[in-house]
Amino acid sequence: MFIPQEIPEATRVATMLRLPKTSHTPLPTVIPDIPRIYYQTSSEVGHRALWVVCVLMALSSLAFYVMAMRVPVQKRLFHIITALVATFGFLSYYAMATDDGITSHPYVSERSKHGAVIEIVVRDIYWARYVDWSLTTPLLLLELCLLAGINGASILIALVSDVIMILTGLFAAFARDEAQGWGWYAIACIAYLNVVYQVGYKGRHAISTRDNKIRAFFGAISLFTLLLWTAYPIVWGIANGAHRVNVDGEIIVYAVLDVLAKGVFGFWLLLTHDKMARMLPAVDGFWSHGISHDGSIRVSLLTVYSLRTTDN
Ligand code: RET
């Protein structure tokens, strides 16, 4: 959409972009050739997609809490993490659907041969996504790490790398200069490769000593995760980086990915978990019983043991 701009608007956008001013005098600066300004926002289609996913996240989150209540507290770790992931998803989609988790950000889309700005595009950035991902992707990874039985040191590195990946992705989205944006993107991709190494490679190593069924399950769900998660930087590169997809397209693709990564992943994990509860971690101590009678907090390590009353 092209909206003819008043000079003050062009000046405001140019200032946001920190474009060089042409006047070196103490007089008010002017921009001699007013750049064209286009706005890229969502239409009704994108807006509706956000509401649909918001409702789906709310319903799955409720379903996950109900599933959590149906297992003994020692076995609820995966259920609670999964439910929290869906709750954060609901909150961020609610923020985006109500326009609160969005901001407009300008970028230079056309320059003359001499470097003068000819066209500026102001595109909506859905920053609530990054808040959501910075909380939910570490939780999702934690589930995979616990499933595989990866050691604490590798888990910490994987989770911190993951947060770095999302935050540098956020910096990339808000970069004023395209080259700088791709620089942040490259850092985020390196962090992602480290996540894949920690969880994929170390996970395969850790799981190799475990039962056949759980090995097959980890193989399948980690492959699903790898393929799905790899789609995010690809979509980001095409939509947010190269601006080759409009805002509606971006909303719809991320919506599908988020439903798969939170909803489908969650149901798959919890339904399978309940079938093989005997082989998965149970948490005792403070997690299950709170503070002891003598006032001490018992910190029980995650253990793999069988709860005879509930296992099948
Ligand atoms: C960004 C852009 C920068 C480069 C990389 C990215 C990776 C994002 C990923 C997101 C996963 C999100 C999930 C959400 C669940 O609801 C930040 C897009 C590597 C992997 C699983």
pLDDT-derived band at 307, boundaries 50, 70, 90:
very low
Question: Cβ(137) to ligand 1 under 6 A?
Answer: yes
The residue contributing the CA closest to ligand 1 atom 7 is 233
Of the listed ranges 29-38, 86-95, 117-126, the one predicted with least confidence = 29-38
* Residue 310 placed within a domain: no
pLDDT greater than 60 at residue 57: yes
Q: Is 166 in the pocket of ligand 1 (CB under 6 A)?
A: yes
How high is the pLDDT of residue 305? 44
pLDDT at residue 27, rounded to an integer: 52
Average pLDDT, the chain: 89
Whether 311 maps to a domain, the answer reads no
In this prediction, residue 310 has a pLDDT band, given cuts at 50, 70 and 90, of very low
Q: Is 129 in the pocket of ligand 1 (CB under 6 A)?
A: no
In 3D, which of 253, 271, 249 has the Cα closest to residue 261? 253
Give the pair of three-digit tokens for residue 45: 């289609």
Q: Is the CB of 261 under 6 A from ligand 1?
A: yes
Residue 194 covered by a domain: yes
101: in domain: yes
Note whether residue 309 is domain-resident. Answer: no
CA of 158 to the centre of ligand 1 (A): 14
3-state class of 39 per DSSP? strand
Ligand 1 test: best mutation among 133, 224, 227, 264, most atoms within 8 Å of CB?
133
Tens of pLDDT, residue by residue over 225-283, are 999 999 999 999 999 999 999 999 999 999 999 999 999 999 999 999 988 877 777 88
306/120 Cα distance (integer angstroms): 62
Q: Is residue 308 part of a domain?
A: no
- In this structure, what CATH number is given to the domain that contains residue 210? 1.20.1070.10
CB proximity list for 115: less than 8 A, separation 6 or greater: none
Instruction: Name the pLDDT band for 6 (thresholds 50, 70, 90).
Output: low
Q: Is 170 in the pocket of ligand 1 (CB under 6 A)?
A: no
Instruction: Look at the pTM and tell me if it is higher than 0.85.
Output: yes
**Binning pLDDT at 50, 70 and 90, where does residue 288 land?**
confident
- Average confidence (pLDDT) over 28-48: 83
What lies within 8 Å, CB to CB, of 207 at 6+ separation is 147, 148, 149, 214, 215, 218
Number of domains in the chain: 1
> Could you tell me how many helices (H) and strands (E) the chain has, helices first?
11, 3
Chain centroid to Cα 140, Å, comes to: 10
Q: Whose CA is nearest to atom 20 of ligand 1?
A: 229
For the stretch 155-193, pLDDT in tens is 999 999 999 999 999 999 999 888 999 999 999 999 999
Whether residue 212 is contained in a domain is answered as yes
| CA 6 / ligand 1 centre spacing (Å) | 38
Domain membership of residue 25 as a residue range: 2-303
